[in-house]
């Protein structure tokens, strides 16, 4: 063991040094007040479920993770791998992976310091009108926005993945699609989780003979574990895209099948809707939190704005000193969540149609005013909170994956069909499951969507408009390099899940596995209840109840797929709340 010899005092207290010390003290005080201090984080000191040195993929499908890793090993970059994962999950994770839905991809390239947010959210068909989703009394008819053929927005996934590859990737579309085509053509063994999720939607799927034909055996019985799910029509569609690019989907033979099926069945999506669909590259929303840089998804997702707004508020509280999931920490978080979700209902929508005051909402100054309204002892008075609906158990299905490559390029992608298996309707001859994303519009002001989220004018339905989302793909930088790549599933729970992954790592010094596994809480203002997963201590629940919270302990929340890179090592964790995922690196 080597001795450490100090030959001279580190500092001699001269007047010059004293003034230097004072200047440092002043700087640190101001920095702390603005939340610029950065807590130390050493994840190498504890266990990790997966680690690597070169690259990593974390997704909810082991097939997709491996397909993405193969691309990284061949020398592809994170975008190549992410696009490969996205197409593969359309085959192996049909509850949320998709061609018939939409989503968001956040990219950060440390070499050029470039950050991009690819928006491939679905759009309302040009023929869509609000009246189509109302009942005879003028109220929202959720059967129409969630179940039937008019529940689908114009899909964006194929355009989004192709755009990402074209602009930031290095491999061909054919290479990115190869694993998906193979798995659709030859099938893959189904597992318990796939069977369970299909059983839950079977009644809904019965409205689509095409879906029943693909996802159930003849006579409607379920596949047994280990039997192969073969999707020949989906393989046909994927091959058309590999041959002719996204045009096959939006203008070619696939587009013809989609628009033909729509016009024969009273659907809204036309050839024109498909031909005019465009994925967009937007500026990510940016913030800082305790010395880390936060990049996340801008509108039409509410995710990034709300995440940064909540972090800005939380930065004003010494969260770490309260203790993880202490009553005090949960109280402050819940109040920040309520304030942010109130803004969501009021201000957020598609920025191509409405003005969203993003700069104000994510400013430190705005958060200062909001956080001053938080009573440290008790929740905001309930007479200021209006009753909302309860989210149904079925909702909240989406999927997230995170990727990092050997150059440190990072991708955080969340995409969805909205519900599990979307509307449950498959377009015959294509294997494409359609989304039921029209429910994410505010059909009537104040009426909650499937996640209990309300909204008003900003998120009102309009032809060609993108419906508001909560998806929150996020990349956190430390010293200019991707440090934490994360995102989650869960409808309205997505944003608070991502928030807690971040605070668990940054404030509470957890490693990525602990940050993922830890018990989650959620408040979205309406309904006026603090939701928790089971596992909070009885003492904490008692303290929160005494403060005035109505506490509902129930289902698990979200499913985060995260990567942390630190000290030359990459650590990843897939969320145990949903089996079947894989965090793997090389
Ligand atoms: N469909 C759920 C979301 O986009 O937030």
Q: Mean pLDDT for the chain?
A: 90
Ligand 1 atom with minimal separation from the 471 CA: 5
Could you tell me where the beta strands, DSSP code E, fall in 443-557?
A: 474-478, 481-486, 521-522, 530-533, 551-554
Distance 344 CA to ligand 1 centre (A): 13
Question: Do residues 358 and 343 make contact, with C-beta atoms less than 8 angstroms apart?
Answer: no
Question: Do residues 520 and 331 make contact, with C-beta atoms less than 8 angstroms apart?
Answer: no
Using a 10 angstrom Cβ sphere, with 0-12 exposed, 13-18 middle and 19 or more buried, the burial of residue 385 is middle
Q: Which of 344, 417, 441, 471 gets mutated to test ligand 1 (max ligand atoms within 8 A of its CB)? A: 471
Q: How confident is the model at residue 384 (pLDDT cuts 50, 70, 90)?
A: low
Q: How confident is the model at residue 455 (pLDDT cuts 50, 70, 90)?
A: confident
Which tens digits make up the pLDDT trace of 176-198? 999 999 999 999 999 999 999 99
pLDDT of residue 380: 84
Number of residues written out for the chain: 586
Distance 123 CA to ligand 1 centre (A): 13
Q: Which of 451, 459, 558 gets mutated to test ligand 1 (max ligand atoms within 8 A of its CB)? A: 451
Structural Rg of the chain based on CA atoms: 24
Ligand 1 atom with minimal separation from the 396 CA: 2
* Ligand 1 within 6 A of CB of 300: no
DSSP label of 530: E
Distance 520 CA to ligand 1 centre (A): 19
Reduced to 3 states, what is the DSSP secondary structure of residue 466? strand
CA distance 153 to 98: 13
* Ligand 1 within 6 A of CB of 471: yes
Question: Do residues 147 and 435 make contact, with C-beta atoms less than 8 angstroms apart?
Answer: no
Q: How confident is the model at residue 18 (pLDDT cuts 50, 70, 90)?
A: very low
Q: Which residue has the higher pLDDT, 538 or 385?
A: 538
Question: Do residues 297 and 285 make contact, with C-beta atoms less than 8 angstroms apart?
Answer: yes
Ligand 1 atom with minimal separation from the 470 CA: 5
Distance 550 CA to ligand 1 centre (A): 26
Q: In this model, does residue 247 exceed pLDDT 80?
A: yes
Mean pLDDT computed over 22-28: 40
Question: Do residues 194 and 231 make contact, with C-beta atoms less than 8 angstroms apart?
Answer: no
Name the residue with the closest Cα to ligand 1, atom 2.
491
Of 398, 399, 414, 503, which residue is the catalytic one?
A: 398
* Ligand 1 within 6 A of CB of 440: yes
Question: Do residues 170 and 77 make contact, with C-beta atoms less than 8 angstroms apart?
Answer: yes
CA distance 524 to 306: 11
* Ligand 1 within 6 A of CB of 442: no
CA distance 561 to 551: 27
Distance 450 CA to ligand 1 centre (A): 10
Distance 470 CA to ligand 1 centre (A): 5
Ligand 1 atom with minimal separation from the 416 CA: 1
Dihedral sign, Cα of residue 18, residue 20, residue 23, residue 25: negative
Which tens digits make up the pLDDT trace of 291-346? 999 999 999 999 999 999 999 999 999 999 999 999 999 999 999 999 999 999 99
- Dihedral angle at the C-alpha atoms of 359, 506, 550, 472, nearest 10 degrees? 50
* Ligand 1 within 6 A of CB of 267: no
Name the residue with the closest Cα to ligand 1, atom 4.
469
Domain locations along the chain: 56-278+396-437
Q: In this model, does residue 388 exceed pLDDT 90?
A: no
CA distance 501 to 572: 13
CA distance 272 to 256: 11
Beta strands 530-533 and 551-554, pairing class: parallel
Reduced to 3 states, what is the DSSP secondary structure of residue 144? helix
* Ligand 1 within 6 A of CB of 418: yes
Ligand 1 atom with minimal separation from the 437 CA: 1
Using a 10 angstrom Cβ sphere, with 0-12 exposed, 13-18 middle and 19 or more buried, the burial of residue 369 is exposed
Question: Do residues 353 and 359 make contact, with C-beta atoms less than 8 angstroms apart?
Answer: no
pTM: 0.91
Among 293, 308, 300, 295, CA closest to 361: 308
Distances (CA, A) of 583 to 41, 394, 564: 21, 26, 12
> Is 288 one of the catalytic residues?
no
């Amino acid at each position: 063991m080597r001795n450490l010899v100090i030959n001279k005092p580190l500092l001699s207290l001269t007047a010059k040094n004293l003034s230097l010390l004072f200047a440092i003290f002043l700087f640190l005080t101001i920095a702390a007040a603005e939340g610029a201090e950065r807590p130390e984080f050493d994840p190498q000191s504890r266990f990790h479920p997966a680690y690597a040195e070169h690259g990593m993929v974390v997704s909810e499908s082991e097939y997709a993770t491996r397909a993405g890793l193969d691309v990284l090993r061949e020398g592809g970059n994170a975008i190549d791998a992410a696009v490969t994962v996205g197409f593969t999950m359309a085959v192996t994770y049909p509850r949320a992976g998709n061609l018939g839905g939409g989503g968001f991809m956040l990219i950060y390239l440390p070499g050029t310091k470039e950050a991009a947010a690819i928006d491939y959210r679905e759009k309302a068909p040009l023929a869509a009108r609000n009246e189509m989703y109302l009942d005879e009394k003028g109220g929202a008819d959720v059967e129409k926005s969630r179940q039937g053929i008019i529940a689908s927005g114009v899909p964006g996934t194929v355009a989004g993945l192709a755009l990402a590859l074209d602009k930031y990737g290095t491999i061909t579309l054919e290479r990115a699609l190869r694993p998906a085509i193979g798995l659709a053509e030859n099938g893959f063994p189904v597992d318990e989780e796939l069977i369970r999720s299909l059983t839950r939607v079977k009644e809904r799927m019965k409205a689509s003979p095409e879906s029943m034909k693909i996802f159930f055996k003849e006579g409607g019985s379920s596949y047994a574990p280990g039997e192969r799910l073969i999707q020949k029509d989906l393989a046909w569609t994927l091959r058309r895209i590999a041959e002719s690019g996204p045009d096959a989907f939006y203008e070619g033979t696939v587009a013809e099948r989609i628009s033909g099926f729509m016009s024969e069945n009273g659907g809204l999506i036309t050839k024109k809707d498909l031909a005019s669909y465009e994925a967009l590259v937007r500026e990510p929303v940016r913030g800082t939190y305790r010395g880390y840089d936060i990049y996340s998804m801008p509108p039409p997702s509410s995710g990034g704005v709300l995440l940064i707004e909540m972090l800005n508020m939380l930065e004003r509280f010494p969260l770490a000193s309260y203790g993880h999931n202490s009553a005090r920490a949960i109280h402050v978080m819940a109040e920040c969540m309520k304030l942010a979700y109130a803004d969501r209902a009021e201000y957020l929508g598609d920025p191509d149609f409405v003005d969203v005051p993003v700069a104000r909402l994510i400013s430190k100054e705005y958060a200062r005013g909001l956080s001053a309204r938080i009573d440290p002892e008790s929740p905001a008075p309930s007479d200021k909170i209006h009753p909302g609906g309860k989210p149904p158990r079925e909702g909240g299905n989406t999927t997230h994956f995170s990727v990092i490559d050997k150059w440190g390029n990072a991708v955080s992608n969340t995409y969805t069909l909205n519900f599990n298996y979307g509307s449950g309707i498959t377009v015959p001859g294509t294997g494409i499951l359609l989304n039921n994303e029209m429910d994410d519009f505010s059909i009537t002001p104040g009426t909650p969507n499937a996640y209990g989220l309300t909204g008003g004018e900003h998120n009102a339905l309009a032809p060609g408009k993108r419906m508001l989302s909560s998806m929150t793909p996020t990349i956190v930088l430390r010293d200019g390099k991707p440090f934490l790549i994360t995102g989650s599933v869960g409808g309205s729970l997505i944003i608070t899940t991502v928030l807690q992954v971040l605070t668990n790592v940054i404030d509470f010094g957890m490693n990525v596995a602990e940050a993922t596994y830890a018990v989650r809480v959620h408040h979205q203002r309406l309904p006026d209840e603090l939701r928790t997963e089971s596992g909070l201590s009885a003492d904490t629940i008692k303290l929160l109840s005494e403060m005035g919270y109505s506490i509902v302990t129930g289902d698990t929340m979200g499913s985060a797929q995260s990567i942390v890179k630190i000290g030359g090592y990459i650590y990843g964790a897939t969320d145990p709340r949903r089996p079947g995922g894989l965090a793997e690196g090389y």
